[in-house]
Amino acid sequence: MKKKMEVVNAGSVSNRNTILSIMIIALLFFIFGFTTWINAILIPYFKISCELNTAQSLLVAFAFYIAYFVMAIPAAHLLERVGFKRGIMIGFWIMSLGALIFIPAALTRTYGIFLFGLFSIGTGLAILQPAANTYITMIGSKERAAQRISIMGVFNKTAGIIAPLLLAAALLRPTDTELFRQLPLMDELSKNAALDELIRRVIVPYSVMAIVLFGLGLFIRFSVLPEIDTNTESKTEADANSGKTSIMHFPYLILGGLAIFLHVGSQVVGINTIIGYAQSLGLPLLEAKIFPSYILGVTMFGFLSGIVLIPKFINHLNILRICTTSALVFTLLFFIVHGQVTFLGHTADISIWILVLLGLSNSLMYSTIWPLALNGLGRFTKMGGSILVMGLSGSAVVPLIYGYFADVYNPQIAYWVIFPCYIYLVYYAYYGYKVKKWGF
C-alpha cells in the first residue's frame, strides 16, 4: 500500500525544521537566479553565433519566460496532485532535460532547438517557482514575509551576479574580440567553421548543469522539507472567502499578477539588454559583459536593505511605494541626463549608470507584491501562487517589445517601453493592492 505523504500546517513546523526549510528554499532561489540571469550572456552570444538581429536574439528571454504563462496552471494542478516536494523534484528533472537539449542544438547550430531547451528549463521553473514562493510566504508570520523573500532575493541575485561571469568565462576567449571583428570579412566556409566552434562551447557547461539539476531533484525529494497544508483556512479566511468559487473573486490577486508581469518584464529588459546598450555606446563585448553583474549587485544591496528594514523600521507596503516611485523617476532621468563619465574603470554615458541604479528600485518590488497579492486567499493559495508565477511571463513579452523598437529606432529610445510599466506599478502600490471587487 502506498504511504500517504504527511501534510502539516505551516504554523506547526518546529523552529529547527523551519530554519532547515528556509535554507533549502534559499538553495532553490539560488538555482532560480543562476538559470535565469545566465540568459544575459546567451542573448549577445547567440546573436553572434546564430547570426540574429536584436529581436531574434531576445527570443531567448521569450522562450524561457513564456513557459511561465503556458505552464503555470498545469503546474498548479501538478502541485495539488503530487505535493510540493515531488513537484519540485519533477521541476528539477524537467530543467535537467532542457539543459541536455543544448547538446544537439549546439552540434547542429539550430537556434530553434536552443529555444526549445530554454522553454523546457522555463517549464521546470514554472513548477518550482510557485512552490518555493508560496512556501517562503507561508512558513512564518505574514508581517515578515517580505523580509524572508528579500533573504531569498539575496541568494537569487548572488547567483545572478556569478552566473553571467561564469558562463562568459566558459564561452568567451580573450581573442574573441578579434574573431568578432573578422567574421564579416570571412568567406562562407571559414565563417561557418568559426561559428560552429563558437556555439559548441555551450556543450560542457550545460552538460554539467544537467547533472547538477538532476541531483538536486533527488536531494529535495528526500530532504526534511515538510509538505505544507495550503487547503485549511483560518476562521477569518473561511468567513471572508465564503461563497467564493474562483480565483477571479480576488481582484487584488489578478492585479498583483499584472504587477508581477510588468515588474519582471521591465527588470529583465534592464538586465538582458544592458550589454547591447553598452555596445551601442562604443564599449566592446568583453568590457560590456560586466554590466548585468553591476545591476544585480545593486539589486542585492536593495535586498540586504530590505532584510534590515522590514518590518522593524518600515512595512512592506511603504517599501513597494518607495521602489515604484523611484523607478519612475530613474526612468525619466535616463532620457533626460546625458554626459560622459568615468566610473569603475568604464568611460561611458551616465545613462548606463542610471540603468544600473534601476536595479535598486526593482530589488524589493517582487518580495513586496507577493504577500500583498496572496493575503487572505486561504484554500485558493496554490492557484494564487501560480497566477503570480504566470506574471513572470512578462519577462518574455516586454523584452520582445523592447527588441522591436531597438531594431526600428535605437537601443535608447526602446527603453520607453518600461515607462508605462512603472506607472502601473505605482498604481498597484497605492491603490490596486486593496481592490476587493471588480468595477469602477
Q: Residue 195: is its pLDDT beyond 80?
A: yes
**Owning domain of residue 22:** 15-229+247-434
β-pairing, 340-343 vs 346-349, is antiparallel
What percent of the chain has a predicted confidence (pLDDT) above 70?
A: 90
For 221, left (φ over 0), alpha (ψ -120 to 50), or beta?
Answer: alpha
Tell me whether residue 206 is in a domain.
yes
Closest CA to 370 of 292, 263, 256, 278: 256
The total domain count for the chain is 1
Closest CA to 300 of 150, 100, 85: 150
**What gap in Å lies between CA 338 and CA 282, rounded to an integer?**
15
**What gap in Å lies between CA 100 and CA 71, rounded to an integer?**
20
Closest CA to 273 of 341, 355, 153: 355
pLDDT of residue 229: 58
User: Model confidence over 144-174: pLDDT tens digits?
Assistant: 776 777 778 778 778 877 887 788 888 878 7
DSSP 409: S
Q: Which three cell numbers stand for residue 258?
A: 499584472
Q: Which three cell numbers stand for residue 393?
A: 511571463
Tell me whether residue 297 is in a domain.
yes
Closest CA to 300 of 163, 165, 157: 157
CA distances from 273 to 41, 115, 171, 317 (A): 10, 18, 19, 29
Q: Which three cell numbers stand for residue 374?
A: 496572496
Tell me whether residue 5 is in a domain.
no
Residues 6+ apart with CB under 8 A from 389: 68, 72, 75, 126, 129, 130, 133
Q: Report helix, strand or coil for 104.
A: helix
Tell me whether residue 10 is in a domain.
no
Tell me whether residue 8 is in a domain.
no
Q: Report helix, strand or coil for 7.
A: strand
Split at pLDDT 50, 70, 90, the class of 231 is: low
pLDDT of residue 335: 92
Tell me whether residue 6 is in a domain.
no
Residue type, 240: A
DSSP structure string for 357-396: HHHHHHTTHHHHHHHHHHTT-GGGHHHHHHHHHHGGGHHH
Q: Which three cell numbers stand for residue 130?
A: 510557485
pLDDT of residue 232: 56
pLDDT of residue 1: 38
pTM of the shown model: 0.71
Tell me whether residue 145 is in a domain.
yes
Average pLDDT over residues 205-215: 92
256 within 8 A of 388, measured Cβ to Cβ: yes
User: Model confidence over 12-47: pLDDT tens digits?
Assistant: 455 676 778 788 888 888 888 888 778 777 877 888
Q: What is the domain-level CATH number for residue 252?
A: 1.20.1250.20
Please give the span between the terminal C-alpha atoms of the chain, in angstroms, as a whole number.
55
Closest CA to 260 of 362, 184, 376: 362
Closest CA to 358 of 314, 421, 289, 405: 421
Tell me whether residue 407 is in a domain.
yes
User: Model confidence over 315-356: pLDDT tens digits?
Assistant: 888 999 999 999 999 999 999 988 888 888 888 889 999 999
